Amino acid sequence: MKHIIILLIILCGFKVNAQEVKKDGKTYKVKKEKIYLEEEEVTSILKDKEKTTILKQATLISEQKELKEKAKQQEEKARKEVEKAKKKEEKAKKKAEKKREKAKKRAEKKIQKTEKAKKKLDKLTDKLRKTEKKYRKLKRKGKLSPNAEERWLNKIEKTKEKIEKTKSKL
């Protein structure tokens, strides 16, 4: 809306302003089909041929100014479109960068999780080995009551279940 109003104001300004036409070393001003020479109206004094020549030149000058203004406006519009495209491209790059960062973080978290699971598995395996060794030692020496033996077997079984659960995470 702003652009339309500005365009109308500019175009009206060109129409209202006098067009200067040089002919035979004299500078004529043309305002609304009236020809002035040094602030005096000379439209009725000039011959028809001179009038038409001066008016045609004024029209040409006016059209040239309008064409220049249109070219400027088109150039400005093109420049704005290029800026808009650049901004859009920049925005797309930022979005892609964010996606890459998120994917990278997810991958790092997955690696950390896997490493943590491996460490836990190693600890549980070591714990199982030690628990079974101690159980066998106590059983061999005959120091286990039936209740104690059951607790040791439960402990070994729970450790095995934890190992299986951790393996499934890997």
Report the amino acid identity of residue 136: R
Whole-number pLDDT of residue 2: 57
- Is the pLDDT score of 4 beyond 70? no
For the ranges 30-39, 66-75, 127-136, 161-170, the lowest mean pLDDT is seen at 30-39
pLDDT of residue 125 exceeding 60:
yes
DSSP letter (8 states) at residue 144: -
Query: Which pLDDT belongs to residue 36?
Result: 81
Please give the C-alpha separations between residue 166 and each of 36, 87, 116, 119, in angstroms, as whole numbers: 100, 49, 10, 10
Q: How far apart are CA 116 and CA 17, in angstroms?
A: 82
> What's the whole-number mean pLDDT along residues 68-92?
95
Alpha-carbon distance of 156 to 136, in angstroms, equals 11
Global pTM? 0.47
Cα 119 versus chain centre, distance: 43
Query: What does the block give as tokens for 122?
Result: 């190693």
Query: How far is 99 from 96, CA to CA, in rounded Å?
Result: 5
pLDDT of residue 28: 79
Does the pLDDT value for residue 140 go beyond 70? yes
* β-strand pairing of 34-37 with 19-23: unpaired
- For 47-71, how does the pLDDT look when each residue is reduced to its tens digit (9 = 90+)? 777 778 888 888 888 888 999 999 9
In whole angstroms, give the CA distance from residue 76 to residue 68: 12
Reading phi first (left if > 0) and then psi (alpha if -120 to 50, else beta), residue 30 is in: beta
Euclidean distance between CA atoms 13 and 5, whole angstroms: 12
What confidence category does residue 17 fall into, taking pLDDT thresholds of 50, 70 and 90?
A: low
Let me know if 18 is exposed, middle or buried by CB neighbors in 10 A (0-12, 13-18, 19+).
middle
Given a cut of 90, is residue 121 above it in pLDDT? yes
Nearest Cα residue to 34 out of 43, 26, 25? 43
pLDDT in tens, 147-157: 999 999 999 99
Average pLDDT, the chain: 85
On the CB side of 21, how many CA atoms lie within 13 Å of its CA?
25
